[in-house]
Amino acid sequence: MFDQSFMPHGYCFLWNSNLIRLTVITDSLIALAYYSIPVALFLLAIKKKDAIPVRPLFMLFGLFIFFCGGGHAIDIVSIWKPVYWLKGWWNAGTAATSLWTAIVLIPRVAEFVKLPATAEHLQHLTATLQEQQWRLQSDLRARSALLDLAHDSIMVISLDGVIEFWNGGAEELYGYGKGEALGRVAHDLLRTRFPEPLSTIKKRLMTQSVWQGELDHAHRDGHQITVSSRWALRRDGDGRPTGLLEINRDITEAKRAEQVLRELSGRLLLAQDDERRRLARELHDSTAQSIAALGLNLEIVSGLAGKLDETGRQALAESQAMAEECIRELRTFSYLLHPPMLRERGLKCALSTYVDGFARRSNIAVDLHIPARLDRLPENVETALFRAVQESLTNIHRHSGSSTASIRIVRHAARVVLTIRDHGRGIPRSSPSRPNGASFGAAGVGIESMRERVRYAGGRVDLLSNEHGTMVKVQVPV
């Protein structure tokens, strides 16, 4: 590599310092530039190896430039040292690398020539995409215009609650324009009151893809709106949730009418109770007393029975028996109309007395379970529960054919639950079957009256019937 029989290259420059300085500076800059290019190419090929389709060509080209830079560095050394053999072998490496690069490059060039002009291809793709975008926007505008014609409020909401679409029905219902609503969190804008925690609603929405219920919203001017709301979950092509479609229908007036009807029904029930009380008192204080006086008169006549023939004595005995039967029936009917014990001593005592009498009259064994410490409940609640038991046992006696019945009352912190069961033939399935095979059957006037009375007390009645019997479940808040 360092053959001393050769002279350093500096002799060719006659050791002219200025010429040597110029050569060293220019060769150094060229070598530095050559070295920086392959470093950049190597880094690019390594970091973007998946995005560069010609990575080997990049690596070869970088190696070729590296050899070129090394040649200039050797030229600097050869000014003082005769490293011409090193220069020769280095040039041989450069030649081999350049030849290898050319071999790899030429087929790639042929492939690139076959491709359409890049600029023209990109222009065509851009024009196609723009046309597709215009068509999609036109279609979206048409669909949006159709949704604006809907009377219901229709909103498209993101998963974090932000309003993305707001139709004309929503503007009319809530008083907010699209510019005011879009981008706002829906439940903050409308000051929504939910019937259950929002987290519970979202969980049900994610599992069932739909949710529906009643919501309370606030109009822009502050007045309250009650809506029947239906949510449907939106998903992308991979099935991932992206948002929801919310459709709201104003039922404020319907709810007000329902409340008025409930109040009227409640007043009617109170009037019925007052009338029952008046009739029971009339029967007890007037008719029953008259029949009792009749019985006393018949007792006096019985003292003269010896003066009567056989037919007269038989008629007298039958009249006395009929008077006693009338007294018993009047007392029972008066109690059924208005059990005075319900107001005086409470639900527990009134039910115990009524169930004992019912079991004797109907020969139906009734299992009554009431907590030993059942405190007095509000009067309307006690009346609703008593009438529910009364109506249910009457239906069991008349229709079910069951020889047994059970009544259970459970007092919770905020509600009372009454359950009446029988093991009879059940209610005829005149209504659609439920998922568990049970049917709610055709409810008679008595059942509807029971529902209305319980509803007036703020509760609900659930009726479940099948071929194995019937269960009536009453829940009333206290």
Q: With the CA atoms of 277, 279, 284 and 285 taken in that order, what torsion angle do they form, in degrees rounded to the nearest 10?
A: 100
Q: Is the pLDDT of residue 59 over 90?
A: no
What is the DSSP code string of 192-244?
-B-SS-HHHHHHHHHHHSEEEEEEEEE-TTS-EEEEEEEEEEEE-TTS-EEEE
Distance, CA of 76 to CA of 439 (rounded, Å): 103
Backbone φ and ψ of 438, nearest 5°: -85, 165
Given this model, what pLDDT does residue 445 score?
A: 59
| Helix (H/G/I), strand (E/B), else coil: 457 | coil
366/37: higher pLDDT:
366
Give the pLDDT band of residue 260 (cuts 50, 70, 90): confident
Return the top range by mean pLDDT from 137-146, 235-244, 283-292, 310-319. Answer: 235-244
How do residues 8-47 score in pLDDT, each as one tens digit? 877 888 788 888 888 889 888 888 888 887 777 777 767 7
Backbone φ and ψ of 419, nearest 5°: -130, 125
Given this model, what pLDDT does residue 215 score?
A: 95
Write out the two tokens for 393. 């046992």
pLDDT (mean) for 159-173: 91
178/134: higher pLDDT:
178
pLDDT (mean) for 333-344: 72
For β-strands 365-369 and 404-411, DSSP reports them as: parallel
Q: What value does the mean pLDDT of the chain take?
A: 82
pLDDT (mean) for 263-289: 74
Q: Tell me what percent of the residues of the chain surpass a pLDDT of 90.
A: 27
| Helix (H/G/I), strand (E/B), else coil: 293 | helix
Distance, CA of 354 to CA of 332 (rounded, Å): 10
pLDDT (mean) for 378-387: 88
Return the top range by mean pLDDT from 120-134, 248-262, 300-314. Answer: 248-262
Distance, CA of 210 to CA of 463 (rounded, Å): 26
Given a contact cutoff of 8 angstroms between Cβ atoms, the answer to whether 215 and 229 are in contact is yes
| Helix (H/G/I), strand (E/B), else coil: 476 | strand
Given this model, what pLDDT does residue 340 score?
A: 72
Given a contact cutoff of 8 angstroms between Cβ atoms, the answer to whether 69 and 35 are in contact is yes
Given this model, what pLDDT does residue 434 score?
A: 41
Structural domain spans, the chain: 9-114, 150-250, 256-338, 345-478
Q: Is the pLDDT of residue 414 over 70?
A: yes
Give the pLDDT band of residue 114 (cuts 50, 70, 90): low
SS3 content of the chain, % helix, strand, coil (to 5): 60, 15, 25
Given this model, what pLDDT does residue 441 score?
A: 40
Residues 6+ apart with CB under 8 A from 205: 211, 231, 233, 244
Amino acid making up residue 90: W
Given this model, what pLDDT does residue 442 score?
A: 41
Helix (H) or strand (E) holding 267: helix 252-282
Given a contact cutoff of 8 angstroms between Cβ atoms, the answer to whether 31 and 39 are in contact is no
Distance, CA of 431 to CA of 113 (rounded, Å): 77
Distance, CA of 354 to CA of 361 (rounded, Å): 11
Write out the two tokens for 126. 């851009």
Give the pLDDT band of residue 416 (cuts 50, 70, 90): very high
CATH 3.30.450.20 corresponds to the domain 150-250: yes
What is the DSSP code string of 132-195?
HHHHHHHHHHHHHHHHHT-SSEEEEEETTSBEEEE-HHHHHHH---HHHHTTSBHHHHTT-B-S
CATH of 345-478, one of 3.40.50.360, 3.10.350.10, 1.10.3720.10, 3.30.565.10: 3.30.565.10
Given this model, what pLDDT does residue 413 score?
A: 85
Please give the C-alpha separations between residue 253 and each of 218, 257, 259, 265, in angstroms, as whole numbers: 15, 6, 10, 18
